[in-house]
Each structure stands twice: as structure tokens, then as C-alpha cells.
Amino acid sequence: MPTVLKIVNAALPLRDESRLYSLTAEDGVWTSVEPQEVEAPQVPGRVPIDRWNGEEAEPGRALCLDARGQVALPGLADAHMHLDKAFSLPQVGNVSGTLEEAVNNYASAAPAFTKEELRARIMRSALQAVSCGTTAIRTHLDFHVRHGREVALRTVEAALEVKEELAPYVSIQLFPMLPCYDLTEEAVETAAEALRMGATGVGGAPHISPRPEPEIDRLFALAERMACPVDLHADESDNPNVRTVAHIARRTIEYGWTGKVTVGHLCSLAAMTDKDAGELIGLIAKAGLGAVTLPGANLYLQGRRDRFPVRRGVTRVRELLDAGVTLATASDNIHDPFHPFGKGDLLQIGLITAYAAHMGSPADMRTVLRMMTEHPAAVMGLPDRGIEPGNDADFVLFDASSPEELFAMVPERRWVWRKGRCLKAAGGRAEWKVPALSQRWEDACERISFRKRG
């Protein structure tokens, strides 16, 4: 007997908003997604979602829920996080609030972090994201080969352990960030080892290097050798002349790697003239680069040396979208020297995106929802995440009836599902429905807290 989940009266704003839908999943896979002629009436045995206590159906019986017109989105996908650094702010400060100080302070502190501490941070931040509705994460990982092979690989090991432990609940991709100021042979070989251990692809921030182009070439060579994707921090700078993305795009075209290369940040696009930016965006589109905007961190970090008017630093969201670039929005850092705020909630990040990019029209709000779901899934190479027959039943139900209500209210009440199983029901932090997650969450919060430790 398959395990059956039926949900009626679900709003699917990424599909057709004139109807409500009936959804059925068997053994964690959608088997039918049907528009309803009328709102389904209440019947005995069908539990209104806001009164459902999270109990599974009895064996052999379907679990039937009434979404009462609430919005269901595919499981959110966060294409750019730094799980290993999250919640490190009590240990690593940043007085100036600049990117440079954050990079330097974190790099000096890195050797002192034990694998256990890194593991707890990765666990807490990943679960934090899951609790908000995210079921796919791409995280960059600091990779301080300068401090020795062991320091670099300890972060990768910690991340691999969490990735495996959480595999039933969230897909995690790992991109070690190769150092771009002294990319030694040893660093490249250590990264190759990390990839053999199970890391997903090659990361880095070549715009930090004084000679970025040869370093980008070496990162591409490593990715070719290891047959893996590339995801680079690109041009996180207010300097309009910082344009490493041009070289990344040219190499992507040469290698024929459309769909395999992602660039994050692209802040200098916001600092240059419309003409220069237009040309560069054309090249990004031609190369088929996936792109990620990180508006929370960039609003915080960029423009630090400006006197008024102060630039906002967030990339040209609308122009990139208009050019046909697959642009995701993502969390970046959480409560660390790069960004003191955030909680891994892509809806919050979507709202910040809407503010930063002036995207508040009805059409814009729906585009922002795609930047939290379909676009990052494409960037991450994860097809088939939509609420469609044949796909895994990964989805989030929100206590909101429309995209307008979602962005206005940013509802805390959500029901998060992975493969047809409810991971977290509405309510506060004690509402985990999977005991194993509840225990891990409590342990991680015990270990990693906002309290400053000695």
C-alpha cells in the first residue's frame, strides 16, 4: 500500500491563480496536480491545515488536508549560503563593516575553529533554512589552505557529515572556495582531494586577486579535470572597473559550459555606466551563466566608502532578468562578520530583493517567487522541483493566500514538506515533526547561540 497524501484547495501562484488545486502524492512523489472547478467543501476526515497537529494518517489510509486557499510553493532553493561561517559573529567581529575586514578577520580566525564547531554551525544554519521552507542548498565553504591542508579539509569534512546526515531532508551542494591571492599547486591539489571526498564543485572569489584572469583559468582547468561545475563570487566590488565576469563568460563560451557556471554578487555592474553594464550583461546572457544576487549582504557591505549619495551595491536585477539571465536570489551570510542579520529565510530575502530592485508590481512579486524557487533550481542543476506529477513532493505551504500577502506579511506559519513527509508544521521552533531533527536542532542551538562566549 503506498503512503498517500491528498491536499485540496491549494493556491499555486506559479501555475494558475484563477483556480485552486487538488494535489496527490504517493510515496513522496506527486501523482496528480489538478485544477478544481470550485472550492472543495469541508468533509469529515479531511483536516483543515491550520488545525492539523502533524499526525500522519493510520497505515493504509490517505492523509487528507484542506489547504484552505493557502499558497503552496515548491521547496525553496537557496543557491548561495555560507553555512560554515553562519553564527560566527560572536567569535569574529567586523568593526568597519567592510568586506575586506570580514575576509581578513575570518581568515585569521579560521585555524582555531574545530571540526565540531564547524559542524554545529553548518547543522544549525542548514536546519534554520529548512525550517523556513528550503529543501535545497548550495553552500560555499571557506578553504584556508594557507593555514595547511588539515584546516582546509576540516571544513569540507564537517560539511560532508552534515550533508549526509540531512540527506533525507535537504539536498546540500558544497563548493570549497579556492584562495585567489596565492593559488598554489598545493591548494589546487587539496581542492581536487576535497572534490574526490564529495564536494560538488569549484568555488572562489577571483576578483580579490591582483591577477584574476590566470587564476580563473586555473579554476576552470581544475573543474575540467574533475568534471564538476564552477560557482564563483564575481565582482563583489563598488569599483566599476572590476569585471572578472567578462573573463568567466568568455571561458564558459570557449569550454561550452553553459549551465555549468554560476556567478554570484555582480555588484560592480551597479557601479558602472548603463552602456558598459549592458555590454557585460549581454555577454553573461550569451555565455548562459547562472547568476545569483545576494541583496541582504550587499546592501550591508557595499557603498561603505561612499559619502552621500551612497550606492546600494546590489546588482542590476531587472536588467539581468530582462536579458534572459537565470537569476536567483539567495541568503549569503547569516550572523557572521560579513552580514550580522538573516535567518536563512528565502521569503525574507525575496522581500529584500523586491525592495532593493524596486520590484513591487504584481508581475514583479511573482518573478521574485521564481527567483527563490525555479531560478535557483536551474542554477543548481536540479530539474524537476516544481509541483508537477512525477516530481518529489517537496513543497511549502504558507499561511497566506497570495504572493501579495506573502510579501506583506512574511508569515512565520509554514508547513515544510520533503518527499511527501511533513518536516515542520506551523509554529515556533519546537514544532519539528521529525524527532531526529528536533533533537539535532536542540543540540545545535545549545552549541551555537547568540550569547557571546568567552
* Residues contributing to the site for Zn ion (CB under 5 A): 332
- Shortest spacing between CB 183 and Zn ion, in angstroms: 18
Closest to 159 (Cα-Cα) out of 86, 79, 84, 81: 84
Structural contact between residues 368 and 102, judged by C-beta atoms closer than 8 angstroms: no
* Residue 361, C-alpha cell as written in the block: 508590481
Q: Give every strand in the sheet of 414-418, ordered side by side.
A: 72-74, 395-398, 414-418, 421-424
Distance CA 11, CA 35 (A): 10
- Shortest spacing between CB 85 and Zn ion, in angstroms: 9
- Shortest spacing between CB 82 and Zn ion, in angstroms: 6
Pick 49 or 292: Cβ nearer Zn ion: 292
Omega before 309 cis (within 30°)? yes
Pick 9 or 173: Cβ nearer Zn ion: 173
- Shortest spacing between CB 177 and Zn ion, in angstroms: 8
Closest to 242 (Cα-Cα) out of 262, 267, 218: 267
Q: What torsion do the CA atoms of 98, 101, 105, 110 make, to the nearest 10 degrees?
A: 70
Pick 52 or 341: Cβ nearer Zn ion: 341
Alpha-helix runs per DSSP H in 166-273: 185-197, 212-226, 244-255
Structural contact between residues 162 and 125, judged by C-beta atoms closer than 8 angstroms: no
Pick 76 or 81: Cβ nearer Zn ion: 81
Alpha-helix runs per DSSP H in 60-211: 99-109, 115-131, 149-165, 185-197
Pick 85 or 440: Cβ nearer Zn ion: 85
Output Rg (C-alpha) for the chain, integer angstroms: 22
- Shortest spacing between CB 422 and Zn ion, in angstroms: 31
* Residue 171, C-alpha cell as written in the block: 539536498
- Shortest spacing between CB 140 and Zn ion, in angstroms: 5
Residue nearest to Zn ion (CB): 332
- Shortest spacing between CB 300 and Zn ion, in angstroms: 12
Pick 296 or 303: Cβ nearer Zn ion: 296
Pick 319 or 332: Cβ nearer Zn ion: 332
Strand 202-204 with 171-178, pairing: parallel
